Amino acid sequence: MGRTLVELFYDVISPYSWLGFEVLCRYQHIWNIDLRFRPAFLGGIMQQTGNKPPAMLPERAEYMLKDIKRMAKYYQVPVHVPRDAFQSILATSSLAAMRFITAIDMTNQQYLEPLSREFWMRFWSQHEDISQPENILTVARQAGLSAELSQKALEMISSPTVKDRLKETTAEAIKYGAFGMPAVVAHCDGEPHLFFGSDRLELLGSVIGEKWLGPVPS
């Protein structure tokens, strides 16, 4: 039986993307899947689909603070959300970070997983900036990238090649029906199956014929 291709479209500005990312990383060695990371731009998806950040609704923002805290504990992912988190999120652009991640995806894919994780760690666990070049280089260094490789990737983020790649990946997510992130697409039975959010991975397992063993499988 062939392996199932599972694509994860994500943006490091999304805490739920981090939860889904870590769980899928755990399952990529348990389930018969080929996991493909697809860095995309959440701002572009929201704009093109007419979606709005859920935290813009005060009642929903209040719920999300509690929900992310519970989910982080259950998923065993170090997401820490201060009460003023959503103000800082709305004021932060992840475009430079996602272009940098895209540049690494195009040139040195072996760093894609640790680099993405470090961006989430810096923003969602340490509450530090990810939009400025010097901070992006710090994240890259912590992820194990050399100074030379990091500088080269940083220079690439203003190139049409990287910009177009990020736009294309974002458009592809929308084509599959994505309206937010994370967007997980499983290719089975000759067609793509979209799952939105980090709390649909049990259903993903059911659709692709794999057993769900909880968010932290032993």
pLDDT of 1 reads 63
pLDDT of residue 202: 97
Confidence band of 172 (pLDDT split at 50, 70, 90): very high
Strands (E) across 27-67 are located at: 33-39
Phi then psi dihedrals of residue 57, to 5 deg: -95, 115
Taking residues 176-190, what's their average pLDDT?
A: 97
pTM equals 0.95
Report pLDDT for 157: 98
CA distances from 119 to 31, 60, 133, 209 (A): 26, 25, 13, 32
The predicted pLDDT at position 90 comes to 73
Q: What is the pLDDT of residue 60?
A: 85
Out of 14, 94, 116, 198, pick the active-site residue: 14
Strand partners, 186: 6, 193
Confidence band, pLDDT 50/70/90 cuts, at residue 218? confident
What domains, with CATH codes, occur in the chain? 4-208 (3.40.30.10)
**Computed over its alpha carbons, how large is the radius of gyration of the chain?**
17
Residue 157 or residue 60, greater confidence? 157
Confidence of residue 125 (pLDDT cuts 50, 70, 90): very high
pLDDT band for position 54 (cuts 50, 70, 90): confident
At residue 91, the pLDDT reads 80
Mean predicted confidence (pLDDT) in 195-214: 97
Mean pLDDT of 115-133: 95
Q: Where are the alpha helices (DSSP H) in 53-159?
A: 58-75, 85-90, 95-107, 112-120, 133-142, 147-156
Q: Over the stretch 33-47, which tens digit does the pLDDT of each residue have?
A: 999 999 999 999 999
Name every residue whose Cβ is closer than 8 Å to that of residue 138 and which is 6 or more positions away in sequence. 122
DSSP 8-state symbol, 188? E
Strand order in the sheet with 191-196: 33-39, 4-10, 183-188, 191-196
79-111 pLDDT tens trace: 998 777 777 777 889 999 999 999 999 999 999
Residue 14 catalytic? yes
Cα torsion 214, 15, 7, 39 to 10°: value is -160
